[in-house]
Amino acid sequence: MPTASATVNKKATSMIDVQQLRETRALAAASANAEDASLWRWFSALMDGRRIRWCLSDEGWLVSVNHRHVATAASFDEAIRIAKAKSGFSLM
């Protein structure tokens, strides 16, 4: 049978685990928000400069940057993320 101190320690560890999980989730959300903001700034800059094109085909979303096809994906979001990674175009 567990002792009273073992039960208290288990509860304290459980509370720490919950707090750590909340902190981890908050950091992951902040990271995702920053990544999304960066992606859509990149997209907006290319769109303003007329350097990105996209269309929906039978194969999925096709994305071209600077007249070069760089991505095909089932979802628009995924195609844009792939295009950013493969295009080599940076805002910096």
Domain segments of the chain: what residues? 4-87
Residue type, 89: F
For the stretch 78-91, pLDDT in tens is 999 999 999 987 76
- Regarding pTM above 0.75, the answer is no
pLDDT for 28 equals 82
Angstrom distances, CA of residue 71 to CA of 25, 38, 42, 45, 67 = 30, 18, 15, 18, 12
pLDDT for 47 equals 96
Mean pLDDT of 72-78: 97
For the stretch 61-73, pLDDT in tens is 999 999 999 999 9
